[in-house]
Structure 1
Amino acid sequence: MAEPRRRVPHRREKIVEAAVEVIRETGPASLTHRAAAARAGVPLGSTTYYFADLDELFEAAVRTVAERNVARLRAWARSLPERADLCAGLADFLVLLTTEHRQTSVLAYELYGIALRRPALRAASTSWDDMLSKVFALRVDAITARALTVMFEGLLHQALVSPRAPDRADFEEPLRRLLGD
C-alpha cells in the first residue's frame, strides 16, 4: 500500500525563495517551475503541487519581495526622528536603495514590470506603492503623499538605470522642490 503524501515543512517557502533567487540572478524570463525546483533542491512535482501555474509562483515571489521592501521602508520610517528633515531623510534612503540595496531594488522593479503583462500580479506589485503613500501620509497630506510616492519611485527607477552612481543631491533637490522646502 502506498504511503500517504507527506508535507515537508517550509517546502513552499523554500520554493518561493528559490524563485526569487532565480529572478535576481538571471531575470524574470528564466523563472520556470523546473528552474525553481532545481534551485530549491526539490522534485519538480513539488513546485506544481504548491503553484498550479507560473503566475502563482510569480505572485508568491512578488509578494515576498514586496513584503521585504515594505519591512525595510517601515524600519526606515521608524528610524526617522519626528522632526527630521524629510527631504534629507528620503534622499539618504534613496541612496541606500541604489547602493547597499541595489540588487533588491532592481529585483523589485523587474517583478513590478511583470505586472504590466500579467494582471494577476498587479495587486501584489502595487503593495509597495500603497505602503510608501501610507508612510509618507504620516508626514504630509494624502495628495502630497501620493505625489511624493510617484516622485520617489521615478527617482529610484532613474537612478537604477543611470550609468552613473547617484548622489544625495540628485534626490534631495527635486524632493525639496516638490515639498516646498
Structure 2
Amino acid sequence: MARRHDPHRRQRIIEAAVEVISESGLPALTHRTAAARADVPLGSTTYHFLSLDELLDAAVHTVAERNVARLRDWARSLPSDADLSTELASFIVLLAGEHRQTSVLAYELYGGALRRPALRAASTSWDEMLTDVFTSKVDVTTARALTALFNGLLFQALVSPGKPKHADLDQVLRRLLR
C-alpha cells in the first residue's frame, strides 16, 4: 500500500481511474478498482470522491484538459498561412492513430454523459474548449460548426475498421471552411 502521508494521493486515484476506464471501459470503474490500481486503501477513494460520479467527473476533466492542451499546442504550432482543412485532417489522422487510446478514452467519457447527468458539465466543457481553440482560426459560428464536425469525424475515424484517409477528411473539412 502507499505510504500514509501522500500529498498526491487524490491525483493518483484520478490517474488510476483514467487507466481503468482506458483499459476496460466505463462500467469497469468502481471505487474498489480505482483503489486497487492506485495502490491505496479503499477508504482513500471514498474520502477524496464521495461518489463514483465525482471520480468520473475528475477523470473527464483530466482527459479533456490533456486533449485540449494537445489541441492548443497543435493550433499554436500552425503557421499563419496554414491550410486549416489540411492541417485538421492531419490532426484527426494523428488522433485516430498515434493517440488512439487517449481519443477512445475521451469519447468513452464523453458518451458516459448520456446516462450520467453529473458528467455533462465536464463533457460540454470539452466542446467549449474546442470551440475556443477553433475561434483563434475562424469566426465563432464556423468554430461551433467545426467543433461538431471535428468531433463527428474523429469519432467515425475511431470506430471505422480501416485507417482514416487524409484526403477524405480534408475534403469534408474544406467544404465547411470554404
Query: Could you list the runs of 4 or more consecutive aligned residues of structure 1 that deviate by over 3 angstroms after TM superposition?
Result: none
SS at match of 2:40: coil
Q: Does 1:39 align with 2:44?
A: no
| Range that drifts further, 55-64 or 116-125 | 116-125
Structure 1 CA distance for aligned equivalents of residues 56 and 31 of structure 2: 10
Question: 2: distance between equivalents of 1:95 and 1:15?
Answer: 31
Match status 1:103 vs 2:138:
no
Q: Which residue is 2:164 aligned to?
A: 166
Q: Report the Cα distance in structure 1 between the residues aligned to 2:174 and 2:6, rounded to whole angstroms.
A: 52
2:147 to 135, 140, 149: 149
Equivalent-residue separation in structure 1 for 2:125 and 2:49 (angstroms):
21
Supply the distance in 2 between the matched residues of 1:58 and 1:135 (Cα, whole angstroms): 25
**Residues in 2 aligned to 1:105 and 1:154: alpha-carbon distance in whole angstroms:** 12
> Which of 72, 75, 82 is the equivalent residue of 2:73?
75
Distance (Å, rounded) in 2 between the aligned partners of 1:136 and 1:168: 19
> C-alpha displacement at 1:179, in angstroms?
1.1
Rounded Cα–Cα distance in structure 2 between residues aligned with 1:99 and 1:83: 26
Task: Look up the SS of the partner of 2:170 in the other structure.
Answer: helix
Deviation track 1:85-109 (CA, whole Å, cap 9, x = no partner) reads: 1011101110110000000000000
Give the corresponding residue for 2:23: 25
Could you tell me how far apart the structure 1 residues matched to 2:25 and 2:171 are? Answer: 33
Letter in 1 for 2:147: T
Give 2:91's aligned residue: 93
Who is 1:137 aligned against? 135
* Deviation of 1:79 (Å): 0.5
TM-align CA RMSD: 0.9
- The TM-score with structure 1 as length reference comes to 0.94
Distance across 2 between alignment mates of 1:11 and 1:138: 37
Task: Please report how far the alpha carbon of residue 128 of structure 1 lies from its aligned counterpart in structure 2 after TM superposition.
Answer: 1.8
Amino acid at match of 1:89: E
Q: What is the percent sequence identity of the aligned residues? A: 71
The worse-fitting range, judged by mean Cα deviation, of 135-144 and 45-54 is 135-144
Letter of the 2:30 counterpart:
T
1:3 is matched with none
Alignment-mate amino acid for residue 60 of structure 2: V
Q: Distance in 1 between matches of 2:98 and 2:53?
A: 30
Distance 1:60 1:145 in 2: 26
In structure 2, distance between residues paired with 1:119 and 1:7:
34
1:96-147 deviations in Å (ceiling 9; x for gaps): 1000000000000000011111111111112221111111111211111111
**Bigger shift: 30-39 or 112-121?**
112-121
User: CA separation in 1, counterparts of 2:7 and 2:134?
Assistant: 38
Q: How many residue pairs align between the two structures?
A: 175
Counterpart amino acid of residue 169 in structure 2: F
What is the Cα deviation at residue 170 of structure 1? 2.1
